[in-house]
Amino acid sequence: MLKEVTATRYITPLREGGSLPGLVEADDLGTYVMKFTGAGQGRKTLVAEVVCGELARRLGLRVPGLVTIGLDPVLGLGEPDTEVQELLKSSGGANLGMDFLPRALGFDPLAFPITPEEAGRVVWFDALVNNVDRSWRNPNLLMWRGELWLIDHGATMIWHHHWPGAEASAAKPYDITDHALASFRPDVAAAAAELAPLVTECLLAEVTAEIPDAWLADEPGFDSADALRRAYARPLLARAGTIHQRITGGAGAHGTEGDA
């Protein structure tokens, strides 16, 4: 399971994100970007962050470390911002924290050249999890200590918002026309050859085991948290072997339909 810490101080809101994440200090002396269960997008956003973040890490991609952060709603009583105060009050219990990367820079494709190999790995991964939030308008990529880091995976696996249609949704292609790394001629074929064999039932069981039970409770159509964990794993396992063949819109990419 993810490391568990407790929030000791709310530092400031990070208003770049639509869900109003905040910077907090915790009892392990760490500083984290915290995403809240009480935010409008709800706990499924946090589940997506855990599944995608932990899967990316196991595939060798760079993502900030994840923890669960216990929050006492009383922490919000002294907040002058009413919106922040209400968010803290409604998010008691376990929330999600991501390691804060100090002095990281937002990714700029004109300033930070990326190799086709690395671009291919990121594009392939985004296709696997159907990440619709990695566009050039909002890359959700950071440069930290000279390396590319992936952040913000809440807008992935859109099939988990409607489980009866999950299988059909997961079978859809992935369009990289607006992807932040499309201009770097991502070598998707090489990425698929390297990464797809790693996405096994065993690996996905390990990844989904990291999701706190509280975030899986009372999901319609599922009688247990483990049944829901298996539902998260199935579309990813099904996509891994063939999604590189269904990546569209990338005229410069290697090994995609865009080559035609």
**pLDDT tens digits for range 50-85:** 999 999 999 999 999 999 999 999 988 888 889 999
Residue keyed to tokens 């950071």: 142
Cα torsion 74, 80, 82, 88: sign = negative
Q: What is the predicted pLDDT for the residue at 211? A: 98
For the CA atoms of the chain, what is the radius of gyration? 18
What string of DSSP letters covers 179-231? BTTGGG--BHHHHHHHHGGG--HHHHHHHHTTS-GGGTTT-TT-SSHHHHHHH
CA dist list (Å): 58 to 27, 61, 199: 27, 7, 9
| pLDDT over 90 at 16, yes or no | no
State percent of the chain over pLDDT 70.
95
| Contact between residue 181 and residue 114 where contact means Cβ atoms under 8 Å apart | yes
| pLDDT over 80 at 15, yes or no | no
Put simply, whether the predicted model's pTM sits higher than 0.85 gets the answer: yes
| pLDDT over 90 at 252, yes or no | no
| Contact between residue 19 and residue 39 where contact means Cβ atoms under 8 Å apart | yes
**What confidence category does residue 255 fall into, taking pLDDT thresholds of 50, 70 and 90?**
low
Compute the distance between CA of residue 154 and CA of residue 141 in angstroms, rounded to an integer: 14
| pLDDT over 70 at 259, yes or no | no
Compute the distance between CA of residue 139 and CA of residue 108 in angstroms, rounded to an integer: 9
| pLDDT over 50 at 212, yes or no | yes
Of 104-108, 167-171, 191-195, minimum mean pLDDT range: 167-171
**What confidence category does residue 1 fall into, taking pLDDT thresholds of 50, 70 and 90?**
confident
Task: Give the type of residue at 80.
Answer: P
Q: What is the predicted pLDDT for the residue at 17? A: 58
CA dist list (Å): 88 to 16, 74, 241: 18, 8, 41
Q: What value does the mean pLDDT take over residues 87-113? A: 96
Q: What is the predicted pLDDT for the residue at 251? A: 59
**What confidence category does residue 119 fall into, taking pLDDT thresholds of 50, 70 and 90?**
very high
Q: What is the predicted pLDDT for the residue at 137? A: 92
Q: What is the predicted pLDDT for the residue at 169? A: 87
Whole-number average pLDDT of the chain: 93
| pLDDT over 70 at 257, yes or no | no
